[in-house]
Chain A
Amino acid sequence: MIKAVMVINTFGKPRLSKFYEFQPVEKQQELIRHVYTVLSNRPDNVSNFIRSLGAIFGPDTRLVYKHYATLYFVFLFDNSENELAMLDLIQAVFVETLDKCFRSVCELDVVFNYSKMHIILDEIILGGQVLETDSVEVVKAVEEISKLESTTSAGTLINKSIPSWWAR
């Protein structure tokens, strides 16, 4: 089971975090900080897997991360998941979907479309289990939801119209 998904930038700011096992807010922040400390000290040429994370994550917790430009994508999970598959889930499903939704995603997309990020994540992982692995399918579902939001209410939050100069 996946325990948590985190997107942290290279300065340690959380950009997205979702915990599938209950953690109090303080603990969540502590975990994010801890993960960031571990990741920021890792050189580039090493494996993407970490098993010895320390006691605060509980026993048997594993971590898979992928470093893209200014962001770390981090999945924490227990020993029932396949590490290599989790890596594929990050790069071939999650990030690819983001790329399709935001047209080559960058940190600013993630920051300003906080709520849309959650829609996407919820279409990929539900309750710590993998829900869908086809990014086309995910994008379709996300678009349906977005359409529904904009048609039923004026108070839309998901503003796709971030000027392109913002995204630089």
Chain B
Amino acid sequence: MNPFSSGTRLRDMIRAIRACKTAAEERGVVRKECAAIRASISENDPDYRHRNLAKLMFIHMLGYPTHFGQMECLKLIASPGFPEKRIGYLGLMLLLDERQEVLMLVTNSIKQDLNHTNQYIVGLALCALGNICSAEMARDLAPEIERLLQFRDPNIRKKAALCSIRIIKKVPDLAENFVNPVAALLKEKHHGVLITGVQLCADLCKVSAEALEYFRKTCTDGLVKVLKDVANSPYAPEYDISGISDPFLHIRLLKVLRVLGQGDADASDSMNDILAQVATKTESNKNAGNAILYECVETIMNIEDNGGLRVLAINILGRFLSNRDNNIRYVALNMLMRAIAVDSKAVQRHRATILECVKDSDPSIRKRALDLVCLLVNETNVKPLTKELTEHLEVSDPEFKGDLTAKICSIVEKFSHEKIWYIDQMLKVLSEAGNYVKDEVWHALIVVITNASDLHGYAVRSLYRAVQKARDQETLFRVAVWCIGEYGEMLVNNFGRLDIEEPTTVTESDAVDVLETSIKIHSCDLTSQAMCLIALLKLSSRFPACSQRINNIIGQYKGSFVLELQQRATEFNSIIERHQNMRSSLAERMPVLDEATFSGRRAGSVPAAVSTSQGVSVNLPNGSAKLSTAHVADLLDLSLDDAPAPSSSGGEFLQDLLGVNLMPVSLQPGHIYCVLYESFRMLFLNYNSDPHIFSFSPYYWYLLTNANQAQKRGSDVLLDLLSIGTPPAQSSPSTPQVLSSNTDNRSPLDILDRLSTPSAPSAQVSSTGGNSSMLDLLNGLPSSPPTSEGNGPAHSSVTAFESSSLRLTFNISKQPGNPQMTLIDGSFTNKSQDVFTDFIFQAAVPKFLQLQLDPASGNSLPANGNGSITQKLRITNSQHGKKSLVMRIRISYKVNNKDVLEEGQVSNFPRDL
């Protein structure tokens, strides 16, 4: 005999393992035990087989490998004694799984045991089979199980019923064999058997449509009657759980009724009465009763519509919400979330209670309630709901504030009809939880503020007041700093004061004070400090009296260890001291940020709701100088979207652009170029970190738009470069002038050549002023239409865009051998009475697409559909087969010398492009 195996009993082993102080010690004990067991197994010692396997199961539970014991299970199952069989089957269930081939060997033993005279052995076999049965075993043993469904002992019947569930799940073909036995089980009086029978019935309905049809026809009434009997049954101690008789049977019955009633009006109709009875009569002061009510609600929501019952059901859920038990509130919220789809009006009625749950002490309940509230928000209730939520923000747990602010912001954004309300709400959120707000949120706020020209003064004054009270909210501070920089003078002169505002007197130096104290606070981070510096520069031009003081503040940062701050400070310092004449232009107000572009950029998170109806350039305050700049911005935006997929960061495209610019800069040294270069560099830095806030862009605009006035040839080059993006429609007086001044300059050609990616509507330029040299210049561009010989069969034609005056049709074709590439022939037709001139089409696509836009066939579109402009597009879809094409388009033209801009999204491309 092996000296180890006799050593320890199971209990001793457990004790030894428990006594281990460290994991290493435990591993040691287990290793020793396993060695002993292996030795014993190899000796094929029947006396200890039983004990060894029991030990192995314990070891298995602790997570150690025990595969070497698998064969022992089979030997034990094959042995005659009950204890051996029991441990064998237990081991079979724990140590083996249906995928192992060993299992094949056990089928025969199980078959014998299923026919055993001892019903407990039959029970063991059924139990094991129900847990590990494979498809092969199911086929082999199904007849035995069917027979056992009629066994005299109820314990065997119920085990056989559950075993059948496993069998029909493994082999759905076998379902029909069980239909008749189940029909018999449903008439069973024994509760335990009835529960399993009902469960089997439900599972049969799931795997087989015929079974479902059969049970619906023949058993619905019977099951309704069973439920009625159970619901009305007198007290039965054995199945009673806290005063409710047999809640589990209730629940199983309600579940199977749900399966039968779903999609069948007659069956649903026949169960309405009993559902109403259960819903109204069941006691709801105990968990068991609520479990039944909950199941009943679920059934009512899923069977065919009966308005009255559904309201009843939702009211039950409403009652659940004020239950003291967390669990009840939790399930009620989950269910209400689904009920919204069914009957949102009835759910709305419980809004107040749901709102209370947002204040719950249980985080998971709070989170669900908040989600639910967001689903309930609509036009009419948005204001009170937002108010409630914002008020709760003050008292909520810090860890909940992030979720809460995100939701409030998304609600406010989605339902804001008045900008002033939006601004007010956002200010509240930012003052309360500014540190939890995501960057997009405050970026969006700035975009909205710039677009609300009549609210600039109001916004800056409110922000000024808010930031005095809540300095520690970083994002609030940033928005305030930005606005003070832009609209600082409105703070002082109370420009555009609204009636609701309380009058305030802020002096120029007060405004500077805010920035000065804040920039010095330790908690102020780099971004905020940098924003402060820009705001200060802007204020120095708005408040000439404070200029010297501001210069001193900025001067302190010339020695900053942070390169970014040091550089900004040095440059601003030199602007204030040495370039008084251009300072005011440099510090001009930012052009209005384009809401459509911004919301489009965020389209992933928020459905693009905002879309500026007219071009941004139309209502700009600062005249023609800015017109082109907005379009340059557009160009940049579009180019970013068009950026080839591999270079995923939009910044790289700009870097390329920058690379081009470096050349003229180095050709013509001079201070202005340094600033120019630097401002570009800054722009890119800012663009990378804060894509929506071009903090530095005023420089850039200035240089772009005023360069021709500066009479520097090199800057003309740059202007020229960028005026490609300036559609001739915007023919500001400067453009032709610049173009002509460049005729003898080779560099624009180089640049244009480099920029030959046709995202700029280059062809249109040629028609601007009839400037022949410019035409020559542009002839150098690869303007030949794409070769058409490779065109595959015409794929289809879609109407991509249609408005009252214009139609755009896309003829889509594929190139054989290049499934990613789609060729599109765009054709524009003018439906109106007037000729369109200066017609420009622009398109933008998401990053996974790459767009090439060839020059258009012309820029003037005859009226009444007499002729068309065509333009070729090539789209490469890097996610071919996964994502389909989508495109945003913008069409601008002139009608009777008036600018018209139309925008749209094309999403009706055929799916497989």
Residue of B nearest to A140 (CB): B155
A56 at the interface (CB under 8 A from B): no
- Of the candidates B50, B163, B246, which one forms a contact with A127 in the assembled complex, judged by CB atoms under 8 Å apart? B163
Residues of A within 8 A of B10 (CB): 114-115, 157
- Of the candidates A46, A49, A114, A132, which one forms a contact with B61 in the assembled complex, judged by CB atoms under 8 Å apart? A114
B186 at the interface (CB under 8 A from A): no
Residues of A within 8 A of B159 (CB): 126, 131
Q: Tell me the total A-B contact number using a CB cutoff of 8 A.
A: 175
Centre residue among B63, B242, B288 by max chain A CB count within 10 A: B63
Residues of B71-94 whose CB lies within 8 A of A: 81-84, 86-87, 90, 93-94
Q: Report the minimal beta-carbon distance from B570 to chain A, rounded to whole angstroms.
A: 51
Q: Report the minimal beta-carbon distance from A144 to chain B, rounded to whole angstroms.
A: 7
- Of the candidates B14, B50, B87, which one forms a contact with A112 in the assembled complex, judged by CB atoms under 8 Å apart? B14
Known: A51-B334, A115-B54, A153-B82. A28 touches B63 (CB 8 A): yes
Residues of A1-37 whose CB lies within 8 A of B: 14, 16-18, 20, 22, 25-26, 28-29, 32
Q: Report the minimal beta-carbon distance from B216 to chain A, rounded to whole angstroms.
A: 19
Q: A149 to B162, Cβ gap below 8 A?
A: no
B343 at the interface (CB under 8 A from A): no
Residues of A within 8 A of B298 (CB): 82
Q: A132 to B192, Cβ gap below 8 A?
A: yes
Residues of A45-62 whose CB lies within 8 A of B: 45-52
B392 at the interface (CB under 8 A from A): no
A85 at the interface (CB under 8 A from B): yes
Known: A126-B130, A130-B248, A149-B82. A14 touches B61 (CB 8 A): yes
Q: A112 to B62, Cβ gap below 8 A?
A: no
A153 to B81, CA, bound (A): 7
- Of the candidates A82, A112, A119, A152, which one forms a contact with B294 in the assembled complex, judged by CB atoms under 8 Å apart? A82
Q: Report the minimal beta-carbon distance from B95 to chain A, rounded to whole angstroms.
A: 9
B287 at the interface (CB under 8 A from A): yes
Q: B81 to A92, Cβ gap below 8 A?
A: no
Residues of A within 8 A of B60 (CB): 25
Residues of A within 8 A of B62 (CB): 14
Q: B362 to A157, Cβ gap below 8 A?
A: no
Q: Report the minimal beta-carbon distance from A45 to chain B, rounded to whole angstroms.
A: 6
B501 at the interface (CB under 8 A from A): no
Q: A126 to B326, Cβ gap below 8 A?
A: no
B165 at the interface (CB under 8 A from A): yes
Residues of B within 8 A of A47 (CB): 326-327, 329-330, 362, 364-365
- Of the candidates B81, B90, B291, which one forms a contact with A152 in the assembled complex, judged by CB atoms under 8 Å apart? B81
A88 at the interface (CB under 8 A from B): yes
- Of the candidates B50, B90, B155, which one forms a contact with A155 in the assembled complex, judged by CB atoms under 8 Å apart? B50
A88 to B166, CA, bound (A): 24
Residues of A within 8 A of B290 (CB): 84
B399 at the interface (CB under 8 A from A): no
Write the B230-248 contact mask toward A (1 if CB under 8 angstroms, else 0).
0000000011011000111
Residues of A within 8 A of B11 (CB): 112, 159
- Of the candidates B58, B133, B328, B363, which one forms a contact with A46 in the assembled complex, judged by CB atoms under 8 Å apart? B363
Q: B14 to A114, Cβ gap below 8 A?
A: yes
Q: A157 to B295, Cβ gap below 8 A?
A: no
Residues of B within 8 A of A18 (CB): 93-94
B228 at the interface (CB under 8 A from A): no
Known: A114-B57, A127-B165, A144-B120. A133 touches B327 (CB 8 A): no
Write the A86-125 contact mask toward B (1 if CB under 8 angstroms, else 0).
0111001000000000000000000110110011001000
Residue of A nearest to B119 (CB): A144
Known: A84-B328, A87-B327. A136 touches B63 (CB 8 A): no
Residues of B140-157 whose CB lies within 8 A of A: 155
Residues of B within 8 A of A46 (CB): 326, 361-365
A156 at the interface (CB under 8 A from B): yes
Q: A48 to B327, Cβ gap below 8 A?
A: yes
Known: A22-B97, A131-B159, A144-B120. A16 touches B54 (CB 8 A): no
Residues of A within 8 A of B90 (CB): 115, 118
B127 at the interface (CB under 8 A from A): yes
Q: B192 to A131, Cβ gap below 8 A?
A: yes
B359 at the interface (CB under 8 A from A): no
B98 at the interface (CB under 8 A from A): yes
Residues of B within 8 A of A133 (CB): 192, 195, 239, 241, 246, 248-249
Write the B84-117 contact mask toward A (1 if CB under 8 angstroms, else 0).
1011001001100111000000000000000000
A145 at the interface (CB under 8 A from B): yes
A148 at the interface (CB under 8 A from B): yes
Q: B127 to A111, Cβ gap below 8 A?
A: no
A149 to B97, CA, bound (A): 26
Q: B192 to A16, Cβ gap below 8 A?
A: no
Q: Report the minimal beta-carbon distance from A160 to chain B, rounded to whole angstroms.
A: 12
Residues of B within 8 A of A17 (CB): 61
Residues of B within 8 A of A119 (CB): 86
Residue of A nearest to B246 (CB): A133
Q: A84 to B334, Cβ gap below 8 A?
A: no
Q: B162 to A82, Cβ gap below 8 A?
A: no
Q: A83 to B65, Cβ gap below 8 A?
A: no
Residues of A within 8 A of B241 (CB): 88, 92, 133
Q: B195 to A126, Cβ gap below 8 A?
A: no
Q: B57 to A115, Cβ gap below 8 A?
A: yes
Residues of A within 8 A of B248 (CB): 85, 88-89, 130, 133
Residues of A within 8 A of B326 (CB): 45-48
A139 to B103, CA, bound (A): 31
Q: A88 to B87, Cβ gap below 8 A?
A: no
B850 at the interface (CB under 8 A from A): no
B626 at the interface (CB under 8 A from A): no
B419 at the interface (CB under 8 A from A): no
- Of the candidates B196, B327, B330, B365, which one forms a contact with A129 in the assembled complex, judged by CB atoms under 8 Å apart? B196
Q: Report the minimal beta-carbon distance from B703 to chain A, rounded to whole angstroms.
A: 52
Q: A88 to B247, Cβ gap below 8 A?
A: yes
Write the B265-307 contact mask toward A (1 if CB under 8 angstroms, else 0).
0000000000000000000000110110011001000000000
A/B interface sample: 7 pairs, CB < 8 A: A83-B294, A84-B290, A84-B327, A127-B166, A133-B195, A148-B83, A152-B83
Sample of 5 further A-B pairs with CB below 8 A, known A47-B330, A127-B162: A25-B66, A47-B362, A89-B248, A114-B10, A114-B58
| Interface residue ranges, B against A (CB under 8 Å) | 10-11, 14, 18, 47, 50-51, 54, 57-58, 60-66, 81-84, 86-87, 90, 93-94, 97-99, 120, 126-127, 130-131, 133, 155, 158-159, 162-163, 165-166, 191-192, 195-196, 199, 238-239, 241-242, 246-249, 251, 255, 287-288, 290-291, 294-295, 298, 326-331, 334, 361-365
| Interface residue ranges, A against B (CB under 8 Å) | 14, 16-18, 20, 22, 25-26, 28-29, 32, 45-52, 80, 82-85, 87-89, 92, 111-112, 114-115, 118-119, 122, 126-127, 129-134, 136-137, 141, 144-145, 148-149, 152-153, 155-157, 159
